[in-house]
Amino acid sequence: MGILVVGTVAFDTVKTPEGEANDAIGGSATYFSAAASFYTPVDVIAVVGNDFPMASLDFLRERQVDVSGLEVKEGKTFRWAGEYAANMNDRRTIDTQLNVISGFKPVLAERHRAHDHVFLANLDPDIQRDVLDQTCRTDHPGRTGVVACDTMDFWIEGQRTSLLSTLSGVDVLIINDSEALQLVDDHSLVRAAERILELGPRAVVVKRGAHGATLCTRDAWFGIPSYPVADVVDPTGAGDTFAGGFMGYLARSGDTGVSALKRAMVHGSVMASFNVEDFSVRRLESLTEAEISDRHDRFMEMITP
């Protein structure tokens, strides 16, 4: 079936207790597509500057990822710099340079509009809503895929009205625990997830970092731990990689019921566990399907009574 992802392709400068990576390839669309491509073809919509080394995405092209929707504009590519504390859960943003992302307004080709499965990665909610309208499923009543989105505190604080408009049109919101609480101004994660469902999504996936993830629908709750990783090197992109495994599984299976969402959670956790083992997308670049299958089986043994 394939997936359309709209997000960022970026340069990341990251410092963790395990080392540093300077101007490494990153961005939500990059991490997402690197993970999802193990399950299904992916079309990427993003923008970079003319300083971006396109050859760095060759490994994605070799893996069913179409980057023809990657716009190259005059100027500099989006850059982010951050530092992680010793526990790898607490992160401090040092610098954010939007650069060519400012003013980005994607216009989808007809083949992109036809996608059943769409992931709106962490971006300006106005961009998310615009893309959502361009892929509006009311024009195609037979569509049965999943539209999911991610967001963050910056958009919750600064563009709440636009974000709520986006949430009213998606099937799944993938969000971390602190931002779920912030979105509905609550201190109970259970209540927060239930209140988010009232905003439009039929499912909420709450990411809890090293503590796993929780799925909430109107009829069910489901939680899984994180796959235990002995040596965490860099958590950057773990959430996007989780989303890639989650959405990738749904697209490949063709099933969007609650049971499929639960299975997709497992695949998301498995993919995220590989991502944290090295800086940037290095581990995802060297990853094999055999490794994924083996870790998935091990994880299922851990969580199945």
pLDDT truncated to tens, each residue of the chain (305 aa)?
A: 799 999 999 999 999 999 999 999 999 999 999 999 999 999 999 999 999 999 999 999 999 999 999 999 999 999 999 999 999 988 999 999 999 999 899 999 999 998 999 999 999 999 999 999 998 654 555 567 999 999 999 899 999 999 999 999 999 999 999 999 999 999 999 999 999 999 999 999 999 988 999 999 999 999 999 999 999 999 999 999 999 999 999 999 999 999 999 999 999 999 999 999 999 999 999 999 999 999 999 999 999 98
The pLDDT value given to residue 250: 98
CB–CB of 277/231 below 8 Å? yes
Please tell me the distance from the alpha carbon of residue 36 to that of residue 184, in angstroms, as a whole number: 30
Predicted local distance difference test score (pLDDT) of residue 144: 76
Q: What angle do CA 20, 24, 28 make, to 5 degrees?
A: 115
Taking the C-alpha atoms of residue 281 and residue 201, their distance in angstroms, rounded to an integer, is 30
Query: Looking at residue 59, which CATH number applies to its domain?
Result: 3.40.1190.20
Specify the number of domains making up the chain.
Answer: 1
* 9: CB partners within 8 A, 6+ apart: 25, 27, 29, 30, 44, 46, 47, 48, 52, 57, 70, 77, 78
Q: Which domain holds residue 274?
A: 3-303
C-alpha angle 217-199-103 in degrees, rounded to nearest 5: 120
**C-alpha torsion angle, residues 185, 187, 190, 195 (rounded to 10):** -10
> Rounded distance, CA 303 to CA 300, Å?
5
pLDDT at residue number 90: 87
Residues 6+ apart with CB under 8 A from 225: 211, 212, 269, 302, 303
Q: What is the pLDDT of residue 140?
A: 56
Q: What confidence score (pLDDT) does residue 136 get?
A: 64
CA dist 36 → 4, 61, 65, 208, 257 (Å): 10, 13, 9, 21, 19
Confidence at residue 1, expressed as pLDDT on a 0 to 100 scale:
76
Confidence (pTM): 0.96
Cβ-based neighbours of 230, under 8 Å, separated by 6 or more: none
DSSP 212: -
CA-angle at 226, arms to 223 and 229, nearest 5°: 170
| 3-state secondary structure string across 137-202 | HHHCCCCCCCEEEECCHHHHHHCHHHHHHHHCCCCEEEEEHHHHHHHHCCCCHHHHHHHHHCCCCC
Q: Both tokens of residue 7? A: 């997000």
